[in-house]
């Protein structure tokens, strides 16, 4: 179902003031890109269906990773790729969360805060996997950064999928010593994660006040580890929901009031069991919160580690899949579809769209429908 309201609608209302509602020029550029997405400002193309012969006009997407309109196909492709890399073992969903005391630092040094989060999370898992008491083998991890809560406040946390075991030095698979119920002891993980993160933060941002570190060590840090999924493919489908998410999707926006300049959107109240409620913010506050989650330029928000890193996947993963599951498992892995620029006709749902003409921001030619209909018939 198509969303009635979009983030772009709010940005368009305040297009002349966007520079005053965000922290830097990179955020401003991103907001303008989202505002122009699939509008005449970015140009477009005229397509014809090879089946029903209908002509369609389509405006170009901004392709910005923070745009809620451009993420659907990327998410599907990511899930499809990860499916071909699955091992026939139990996978865990682990979440590393930063305390709110770091939010103010995050506003001024987001790259350092987020980079430290990735490093500390992987160092924590390595600490346990290297120990013969817990595993004594090389593990892997796929991690995805999220920076928001339901109300679009700053809430940095890392969603990770972790196989419940690793490869020993002899090249054999070793299951974690958990009887399949948990990855590692959660309380122990939390303490190690806190120590690893603070140590990394001292390197990344020297000169932070000691009072901040005192607050960080006085709090219990939260690491969540969900019980293993019943099937390996379930964890990828579950985590696939998080890959190309942004601070808010268009479908959550329920009203954009042009007169009062307010935005109303759905939120889930997890303190009341995930009950759906509505929150209304002024345009200014909505844009300010949305801007908080625009990542630094070039920052990688999905990272692969250990046996799931790019180098290991090419060299060791195929052999490991064969060893653990045999040919029957490998043969049943989904095949990755070839990349194609062909598009399905959204009118008849059968034909493929072919581009007849590309136009710039000045728009399509006048009377384009009549012109191209006569051309197609002839």
User: Which of 36-45, 340-349, 360-369 shows the highest mean pLDDT?
Assistant: 36-45
Using an 8 Å Cβ cutoff, are 296 and 26 in contact?
Answer: yes
Residue 30's pLDDT band, with cuts at 50, 70 and 90, is very high
Q: How far is it, in rounded angstroms, from Cα 370 to Cα 349?
A: 23
Closest CA to 82 of 258, 238, 306: 238
Per-residue pLDDT for 374 more than 60?
no
Mean predicted lDDT score pLDDT of the chain: 86
User: Which of 72-76, 230-234, 302-306, 324-328 shows the highest mean pLDDT?
Assistant: 302-306
Beta strands in the chain (DSSP E): 44-49, 55-59, 91-97, 140-148, 154-163, 165-167, 173-175, 223-226, 253-257, 262-269, 275-282, 302-306, 343-344, 352-359
Using an 8 Å Cβ cutoff, are 355 and 46 in contact?
Answer: yes
Per-residue pLDDT for 164 more than 80?
yes
> What is the per-residue pLDDT for 340?
44
Q: How far is it, in rounded angstroms, from Cα 76 to Cα 59?
A: 22
> What is the per-residue pLDDT for 369?
65
Q: Which position has the higher pLDDT, 103 or 177?
A: 103
Residue 23 carries which DSSP code?
S
Say how many C-beta atoms besides its own lie within 10 A of residue 246's C-beta: 23
For helices 72-83 and 232-243, the axis angle rounded to 10 degrees is 150
Give me 130's structure tokens: 């290297």
Residue 341's pLDDT band, with cuts at 50, 70 and 90, is very low
> What is the per-residue pLDDT for 260?
94
Residue 321's pLDDT band, with cuts at 50, 70 and 90, is confident
SS3 178: coil
Per-residue pLDDT for 370 more than 70?
no
Domain boundaries, the chain: 7-66+346-377, 72-247+299-331
Per-residue pLDDT for 23 more than 90?
no
57-69 per-position pLDDT tens digit: 889 989 899 998 8
User: Which of 39-43, 343-347, 361-365 shows the highest mean pLDDT?
Assistant: 39-43
Residue 307 to residues 85, 283, 322, 367: CA-CA distances in angstroms?
11, 45, 15, 58
Q: Which residues have a Cβ under 8 Å from the Cβ of 237 and sit 6 or more positions away?
A: 79
Does the predicted model carry a pTM greater than 0.85? yes
224-283 per-position pLDDT tens digit: 887 767 677 777 777 777 777 788 999 999 999 999 999 999 999 888 888 999 999 999
Q: How far is it, in rounded angstroms, from Cα 184 to Cα 178?
A: 7
Mean pLDDT of 324-330: 69
């Amino acid at each position: 179902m198509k969303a009635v309201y979009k983030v772009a609608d709010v940005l368009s209302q305040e297009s002349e003031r966007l520079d005053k509602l965000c922290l830097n020029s990179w955020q401003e550029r991103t907001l303008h890109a989202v505002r122009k997405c699939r509008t005449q400002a970015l140009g477009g193309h005229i397509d014809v269906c090879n089946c029903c012969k209908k002509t369609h006009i389509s405006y170009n997407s901004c392709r910005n990773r923070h745009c809620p309109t451009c993420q659907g196909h990327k998410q599907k492709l990511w899930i499809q790729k990860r499916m071909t890399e699955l091992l026939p073992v139990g996978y865990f969903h682990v979440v590393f969360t930063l305390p709110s005391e770091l939010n103010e630092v995050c506003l001024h040094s987001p790259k350092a805060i987020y980079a430290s989060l990735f490093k500390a999370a992987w160092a924590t898992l390595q600490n346990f996997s290297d120990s013969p008491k817990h595993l004594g083998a090389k593990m892997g991890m796929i991690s995805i950064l999220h920076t928001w809560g339901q109300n679009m406040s700053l809430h940095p946390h890392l969603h990770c999928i972790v196989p419940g075991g690793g490869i020993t030095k002899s090249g054999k698979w070793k299951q974690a010593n958990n009887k399949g119920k948990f990855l590692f002891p959660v309380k122990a993980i939390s303490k190690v994660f806190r120590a690893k993160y603070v140590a990394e933060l001292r390197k990344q941002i020297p000169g932070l006040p000691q009072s901040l570190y005192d607050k960080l060590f006085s709090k219990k840090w939260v690491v969540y580890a969900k019980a293993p999924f019943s099937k390996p493919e379930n964890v990828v489908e579950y985590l696939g929901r998080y890959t190309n998410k942004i601070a808010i999707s268009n479908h959550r926006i329920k009203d954009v009031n042009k007169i009062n300049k307010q935005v109303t959107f759905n939120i889930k109240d997890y303190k009341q069991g995930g009950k759906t409620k509505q929150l209304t913010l002024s345009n200014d506050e909505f844009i300010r919160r949305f801007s908080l989650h625009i990542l630094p330029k070039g920052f990688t928000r999905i990272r692969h580690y250990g046996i799931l890193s790019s180098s290991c996947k090419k060299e060791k993963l195929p052999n490991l899949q064969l060893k653990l599951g045999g040919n029957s498992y490998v043969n049943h892995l989904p095949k990755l579809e070839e990349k194609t620029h062909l598009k399905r006709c959204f009118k008849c749902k059968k034909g493929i769209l072919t581009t007849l003409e590309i136009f710039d921001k000045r728009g399509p030619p006048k009377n384009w429908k009549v012109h191209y209909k006569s051309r197609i018939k002839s």
